[in-house]
Structure 1
Amino acid sequence: MSDQHITADSAWVPDACTLPTAERPLRLAEFDQFFRDAVRGVDRLSAEHLRLHLASAVQIEETARDLTVRESSCCSFFAFDLSRSGPEALTLDVRVSAAHVDVLDGLAERAASAQGER
């Protein structure tokens, strides 16, 4: 993991996030690693809706569930929906309200950047 992903580029993290500031770099690093390992495609369906196409491995699904549950507990403005429409089709939909579009922009940018690092 590079230092670039451990530093807290948290300009897009809103005050509504209750994760302690000291823990944010670690959570960002977890998301960055997840994006590198799992994301196979990124679709921005609307300003408030991001869809991540994930590798279909069971471990990826378990990691996604764990990470999104923990993120929802500190950042209640996120709505995550993990679904499997077939054995090879795992998606993670991320939604926010209009007030938090900038947060979704940051998440989408990180996911897209991580794809290029594989």
Structure 2
Amino acid sequence: MTINELPTDWVPTACSLPTVQQPLRVAEFDELFARSVQDLTRFSATRLDLQIVAAEEQRARELTERESGCCSFFVFRFAPVDGDLVHLSIEVPAAYIDVLDSLTQRVQARIPNGGTSA
């Protein structure tokens, strides 16, 4: 599956972001994933962990904060890994596993090695 074949309708109905703005938000995440994600691990059905470059942390924090404002079911947590990387954990309730599945596919399609899904 190529990037252009990935589903774009994964945004859940629980999202309060206006429909017209949703493709723009998806594009922001796609760009963040392509620019900053070095690796990913899917620890469980409800949790995705990303290693992002530290230089993109502020941008990632701003984007995830805006996303939490419209999709309150997401829980984003940041933690330092070392000087060059930051850990970003994304968690969802069980009712939104399909959303996290789609998000995982989008990340995997945008990083060079596809990540190390557990």
Using structure 2 for the length normalisation, give the TM-score: 0.87
Separation in structure 2 between the aligned mates of residue 103 and residue 13 of structure 1, nearest angstrom: 7
Question: What is the number of residues matched between the two proteins?
Answer: 111
For 1:107, give the aligned amino acid: L
Partners of 2:78 and 2:84 lie apart in 1 by 14
Report if aligned partners of 1:79, 1:96 keep a CA contact under 8 Å in 2.
yes
Q: Distance in 2 between matches of 1:62 and 1:92?
A: 12
Aligned with residue 64 of structure 2, among 68, 72, 75: 68
Of residues 25-34 and 82-91 in structure 1, the stretch that sits farther from structure 2 once superposed is 82-91
Q: What is the aligned counterpart of 2:105 among 106, 109, 118?
A: 109
Shift of 1:8: 7.7
TM-score, length basis structure 1: 0.87
Q: Report deviation, 1:56.
A: 2.0
Encode CA deviations 1:37-67: one digit per residue, 9 max, x unaligned: 000001000000000111122xx01101100
Q: Percent identity?
A: 43
Gaps of 5+ in 2: 114-118
- Name the structure, 1 or 2, with higher relative contact order (CA <8 Å, separation 6+): 2
Give ranges in structure 1 of 5+ residues lacking alignment. Answer: none
Q: Which runs of 4+ in 1 moved over 4 A?
A: none
Distance between the aligned counterparts of 1:26 and 1:49, measured in 2?
A: 24
- What one-letter code is carried by the residue in structure 1 that aligns with 2:70? C
Q: Secondary structure at the match of 2:11?
A: coil
Deviation at 1:82, TM superposition (A): 1.1
Question: In 2, distance between residues paired with 1:64 and 1:82?
Answer: 9
Q: Give the residue type in structure 2 aligned to 1:16.
A: A
For 1:88 and 1:37, the matched residues in 2 are separated by: 14
- Whether contact under 8 Å (1:8, 1:25) holds in the other structure is no
